[in-house]
């Protein structure tokens, strides 16, 4: 019998470990850019990146998550030709759609540079980053294939290799004097090289020993993917609004300097989110497989277990970033970015909530109810736009952070209610309340110790964590949120 707990934990651990390394490399890149570019040019690069990323909704068209849903089902039902035709068809649709969008964006690059970014240097960045996203059509197909076939190591390795290349190439181009455009060149070249490196493995998994002439644009499969994927396209649109309207509206209403400050706080807060994305990447196809096998009991047990332990892990990580926000920003990006510490504190609250939401949505998608996600995300995205339009002109970058966090908290509540309605899970309310109490104790001790202990960053961080983490773990056991018996049972299931 398949050990789903073992697959979920080992797979998530692999993805999280490699993703964490990729995140650290990404932070090195941001640190390098922050220290080698002015705040304005740093802000310009991420403002252009946000704009181009926003148009990526037309690249996926909701078909990528549809592949993650249906490829595991095709595997279970041994429909090999359907797997190949679906991948081939989606690749063609993606390439055509984003080629059109790429042409339009490049045609209007002069207008965007002068009228929106108010900086002519943005034109070259718009062009190079747009071409990068055209190449990423192949990236996304390769990654989703690895994920769907449960080639977890390759799935996690792809973004890591891309991050390493991005850092190395950006370092070279910026040092050669290309400035913010050098980062754009690094992004373009890293996308191209990574795709070429993984292309042979992708072809071996999908099209090995098959006559390419047999590949067809299967209208029936595309119809199936579109019916599932269209609501997810709406969800993706909502996600992009949530992720990028802050930066886009800050660029419109305020200065590139404020955009720069926001874009150092945002990645620091997003450190927690990588835990959620790592788990989601495993949970989505597993949920789809369990539903295909009608194994509802295992699914419910797994969701309830995940809800309890995910919060236990997220709470201390979020509170550490919250408590040490000034030191984190100073160490990573330099003292000039300490101004973003309050932004980081606000964002980390919302990101902690969104981490759980991300996992909930992956399960809802795996169950086959993407329309529910679409309704929630689009509704919250609309709220986010309204809050941004009201708050950014009034309180600037802090308003953008407040808008994001409020939206993410509301989305968490709605995602939990949706999941409960779908499969009638029992919510661990008491466990969540007790975990929250442990978090309050944890935060209080950190705050007290920070007033008493004044050392260099690493010494202060290590000493305080050596005191507070054991306190947090002890309170978990004292309040019986976790027990030794339960942990032993989980370990036995994984081993056996």
Average pLDDT over residues 330-351: 86
**For range 398-423, the mean pLDDT:** 90
Instruction: Choose between 322 and 83: higher pLDDT.
Output: 322
Inter-residue contact 383 to 410 (CB < 8 Å): yes
Give the pLDDT band (50/70/90) at residue 183: very high
CB atoms within 10 A of CB 153: 12
Helix (H, G, I), strand (E, B) or coil at 118: coil
* Cβ contact 254:404 at 8 Å: no
301 with 422: CB under 8 angstroms? no
State how far Cα 151 lies from the chain centre. 19
Please tell me the predicted confidence (pLDDT) of residue 495.
Answer: 57
Q: Calculate the dihedral angle through the C-alpha atoms of 43, 44, 49, 54, rounding to the nearest 10 degrees.
A: 90
Where is mean pLDDT largest: 153-162, 312-321, 453-462? Answer: 312-321
Question: What local confidence, expressed as pLDDT, does residue 1 receive?
Answer: 39
| pLDDT at 340 > cutoff 80 | yes
What confidence score (pLDDT) does residue 206 get? 73
Residue 209 clears pLDDT 50, i.e. is over it: no
278 Cβ contact partners less than 8 Å away, ≥ 6 residues apart: 12, 15, 16, 19, 156
Whole-number pLDDT of residue 496: 58
Q: Which two tokens stand for residue 443?
A: 């935060």
Beta carbons within 8 Å of 13's beta carbon, 6+ residues apart: none
Question: What's the rounded Cα separation, in Å, for the pair 93 and 79?
Answer: 22
Higher pLDDT, 163 or 366: 163
Please report the pLDDT score of residue 488 as a whole number.
76
Please state the rounded mean pLDDT for residues 104-112.
89
pLDDT greater than 70 at residue 6: no
- Note the pLDDT tens digit of each residue in 424-474: 777 788 888 999 999 999 999 999 998 888 777 778 888 998 999 999 999
pLDDT in tens, 350-408: 999 988 888 888 888 777 777 788 888 888 988 999 999 999 999 988 999 999 999 99
Question: Tens of pLDDT along 241-266?
Answer: 777 788 888 888 888 888 888 888 88
pLDDT above 90 coverage of the chain, percent: 22
Give the whole-angstrom CA distance, residue 382 versus residue 407: 9
Query: Considering the chain, what is the average pLDDT of its residues?
Result: 81
| Span 71-84, average pLDDT | 72
């Amino acid at each position: 019998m398949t050990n789903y707990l073992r697959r979920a934990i080992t797979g998530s651990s692999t993805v999280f470990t490699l993703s964490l390394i990729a995140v650290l490399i990404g932070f090195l890149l941001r640190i390098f850019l922050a220290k080698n570019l002015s705040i304005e040019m740093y802000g310009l690069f991420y403002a252009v990146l946000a704009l181009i990323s926003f148009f990526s909704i037309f690249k996926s068209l909701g078909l990528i998550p549809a592949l993650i849903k249906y490829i595991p089902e095709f595997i279970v039902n041994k429909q090999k030709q359907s797997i190949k035709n679906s991948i081939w068809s989606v690749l063609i649709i993606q390439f055509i759609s984003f080629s059109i969008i790429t042409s339009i964006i490049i045609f209007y690059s002069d207008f965007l540079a002068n009228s929106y970014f108010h900086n002519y240097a943005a034109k070259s960045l718009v062009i190079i980053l747009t071409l990068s996203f055209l190449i990423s059509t192949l990236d996304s197909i390769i990654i989703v294939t690895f994920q769907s076939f449960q080639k977890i190591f390759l799935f996690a390795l792809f973004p890591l290799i891309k991050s390493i290349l991005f850092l190395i190439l950006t370092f070279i181009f910026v040092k050669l004097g290309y400035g913010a455009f050098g980062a754009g060149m690094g992004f373009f070249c890293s996308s191209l090289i990574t795709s070429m490196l993984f292309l042979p493995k992708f072809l071996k998994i999908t099209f090995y020993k098959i006559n390419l002439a047999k590949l067809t644009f299967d209208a029936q499969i595309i119809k199936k993917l579109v019916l599932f994927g269209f609501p997810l396209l709406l969800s993706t649109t909502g996600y992009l609004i949530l992720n990028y309207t802050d930066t886009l509206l800050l660029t419109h209403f305020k200065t590139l300097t404020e955009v720069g400050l926001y874009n150092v706080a945002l990645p620091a807060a997003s450190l927690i989110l990588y835990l959620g994305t790592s788990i989601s990447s495993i949970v989505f196809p597993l949920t789809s497989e369990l539903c295909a096998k009608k194994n509802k009991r295992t699914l419910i047990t797994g969701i309830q277990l995940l809800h309890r332990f995910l919060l236990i892990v997220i709470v201390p990580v979020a509170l550490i970033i919250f408590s040490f926000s000034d030191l984190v920003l100073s160490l990573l990006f330099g003292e000039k970015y300490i101004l973003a510490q309050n932004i980081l504190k606000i964002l980390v609250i919302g990101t902690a909530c969104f981490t759980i939401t991300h996992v909930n949505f992956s399960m809802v998608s795996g169950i086959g109810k993407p329309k529910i996600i679409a309704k929630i995300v689009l509704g919250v995205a609309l709220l986010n736009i309204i809050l941004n339009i009201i708050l950014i002109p009034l309180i600037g970058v802090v308003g953008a952070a407040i808008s994001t966090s409020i939206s993410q908290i509301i989305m968490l509540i709605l995602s939990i209610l949706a999941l409960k309605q779908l499969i009638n899970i029992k919510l661990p309310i008491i466990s969540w309340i007790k975990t929250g109490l442990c978090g309050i104790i944890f935060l209080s001790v950190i705050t007290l110790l920070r007033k008493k202990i004044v050392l260099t960053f690493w010494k202060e961080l290590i000493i305080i964590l050596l005191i507070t983490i054991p306190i947090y773990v002890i309170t978990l056991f004292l309040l019986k949120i976790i027990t030794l018996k339960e942990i032993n049972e989980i370990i036995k299931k994984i081993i056996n």
